[in-house]
Structure 1
C-alpha cells in the first residue's frame, strides 16, 4: 500500500509554510503525491489567511493522512507550536523546526511515511538555540544513527539538467581543502553510484570528477592536490568497475556538450557543485541526501525571509522535491 510523504515545517518565519499551502492547492492540477505536514494547524491557518488563500486543514495521525489528502491538507501535530510572523523568527522557531524534522524521521523509520521532504531551515536561528550541526544533512545522519553507527550522508543536487555531488559540504573553503582525502572521494562516489543504480534506474552510471584547483592543477603548477588526492581516488574507483573520468577542469565541465557525457558530477567542495546546478535549474533543483536508511529530499533554496507571507514564493522546487521523493520511494533498492 502506498504511504504518504512526511513534509517538515522548516523555519516557520520562512517560505516553507507558503509553498506547502501552494503545493497542496495545486495537488489535482499537478497530480502530486500525497503528503502531510508535521507542524501546527493553527499556525498554518494563520499563514494561509495572511496569504489570502482558502485552504482546508485537518489534524490527523500520520496513518490517516493518505485518506485525508484529497479533501484537506493533513497536519500531524508535533506538540511544538509556532508563533513566528513572516520574516521574523521568534523563540518558538527553532523548537518547532527541529521537532518537525525529528518526528518526520521517526515516521519514516516506523513505516508510517515513505520518505522525508524537508522545508528550508534557518541555520542561524537554530544555532542560537544550541543546534550543533553544520546543516540539515548532518542532523539527519545523527537521527538515523543506530547501534552506535552514524551513517555517512552524501549530498546530491538533482535536476533534469544536471546532477552534482559535492565531496565536502558545509565547510569553509580552507577547511574543505584540509578535509579532502582520497578515501573521502572514493566513499562519496561509491555512495552516489549505489544510489544512481538503486533509486534512479541507471545500470552503469557515468561519473565526471572535477579537479580541486584551477585547470585541475595544471600538472601540479597550480597545486598538487589533484595529483596526490584526486587522481588516486579515480584509479581506485575504476578498479571497482565504475565508469569515471577526471580530474577535469571545473570551468569546462558544465556546458551543454560536456553535461551529455556524464550522469553525475563529483565536485570537491560546496560551491563548485551548487553554483552550476542552481544557475542551470534553480526552480527545479532538488537536494537529496544519500547514504541514509531512508529517502530525504528538499527544495534547493533557503527560507527567503524577505518574501515570506507575501504570496511571491515559488513552490516549484518543493513540488520537484515531492515528486522526486515519491519516484525514489517507488523504486525500492535492489
Structure 2
C-alpha cells in the first residue's frame, strides 16, 4: 500500500486526501496530522503501517500521525509547520525503503514556504534522492496516457540551463529514463525522442550550436549503448499527435519545454514520477493551489492518477526484479 504524504497543510493536499479516500479508487496510508481531516471522513490512527489493509481502508482512512506545530488556516501557509511537512516526506520514504510501503506518493508542497523553514533543497525530487542515498541520480518525469516527458535540467533558471546542460547529463538522463521505462512501465524496447534546445533545433547552426556540440553527441552515445534514441528534434513539432506515436518518452532540455506540452495535453491525468530512485515515487502534476484551498473545489483527478500510477509502477518493478533474479 502506498504512503501518501501530507504536503503543505494550508494547501489543497488535505482536501485531495479526503476526496481520494472517498473515491476508494486506490488504497493508501496517509501520513499527516489528523486534525486536518476534521470530521469529514472516518479515519483510524495507526501505530504501525502494517496495521493497514484493504478491509481497514474500506471503512476508514489509515493515518500515521505527524503533528503540526500550529493550527492551519487554509490558503495561509506558515513556515512554522515546515518541519512537519518534511517529517511526513521522510517517514514515507523510510517506510518505502524498508518495504513496509509500496511507494511514496506526495501531496504538493510550497518550495518557497519550506525555504523559509530552512529547507535547502529545490524540491521533492532532490530531497528524495538524498533520503535514498542517490543524490544526482534523480530524474523527473511527467507522465500521462498521452505523453511522457523528462526535462534534462529541472529547477534552474533559463539562463542557467546553458551553464548546466552537458552531453554527460543528457546521456545519464537518457540511461535512467530507458531503464525506468523497462522496469517501471513494462516497455521492452523504449524509444526516446530528444528535443533540440534552440528554435528549429538550431537550423544547422544558424540559430545555435548546442544541438551539434552537446545534444547530438549524447544521442550518439545512447545509441552506442543500444538505447533507441533519436533527434535532436525541433521542439515546436515533436509534440503533435502524429509525432508522439514515434516515441515512448521525450527528453527535453529544460523544465518548461517538457511541462508545457504535458500540462496542455492532459493536466488532469498528469503525474510527476521520480526516476532513478530505489523506490517508486509519484505526485500530482499541480501545486498547492493556496488560492482555492478550503473551498472544496480542488480536482482530485491528478492525485488519483498518481496513486494509480504508483501501484502500476510498483507491480512492474516487482515483476522485473523477480524476473531478473530468476
State if a TM-score over 0.5 links the two structures.
yes
User: Unmatched 5+ residue regions in structure 2?
Assistant: 322-326
Separation (CA, whole Å) in 1 of partners of 2:301 and 2:50: 27
Q: Could you tell me which residue of structure 2 aligns to residue 76 of structure 1?
A: 64
Separation (CA, whole Å) in 2 of partners of 1:152 and 1:205: 19
User: Unmatched 5+ residue regions in structure 1?
Assistant: none
Q: Does 2:280 correspond to 1:287?
A: no
Change (3 A) 1:33 1:207: same
Out of 6, 11, 16, the residue aligned to residue 9 of structure 1 is 6
Q: TM-score, normalised by structure 1?
A: 0.93
**1:96-107 equivalences in 2 (<5 Å):** 96-107=84-95
Separation (CA, whole Å) in 2 of partners of 1:178 and 1:271: 17
Separation (CA, whole Å) in 1 of partners of 2:80 and 2:61: 23
Cα displacement (A) at 1:266: 0.4
**1:1-334 equivalences in 2 (<5 Å):** 4-27=1-24, 32-45=25-38, 54-60=40-46, 61-66=48-53, 67-81=55-69, 83-145=71-133, 150=135, 152-331=137-316, 332=318, 333-334=320-321
Q: TM-score, normalised by structure 2?
A: 0.95
Cα displacement (A) at 1:81: 4.8
Describe the SS at the equivalent of 1:265.
Answer: strand
Describe the SS at the equivalent of 1:70.
Answer: helix
Describe the SS at the equivalent of 2:52.
Answer: helix
1:12 touches 1:82 (CA, 8 Å); kept in 2?
no
Cα displacement (A) at 1:43: 2.4
Cα displacement (A) at 1:80: 4.1
1:83 touches 1:92 (CA, 8 Å); kept in 2?
no
Q: In angstroms, what is the RMSD of aligned CA positions?
A: 1.2
1:13 touches 1:308 (CA, 8 Å); kept in 2?
yes
What is the number of equivalent residue pairs in this alignment?
A: 317
Cα displacement (A) at 1:326: 0.5
1:40 touches 1:81 (CA, 8 Å); kept in 2?
no
Q: Which runs of 4+ in 1 moved over 3 A?
A: 79-82
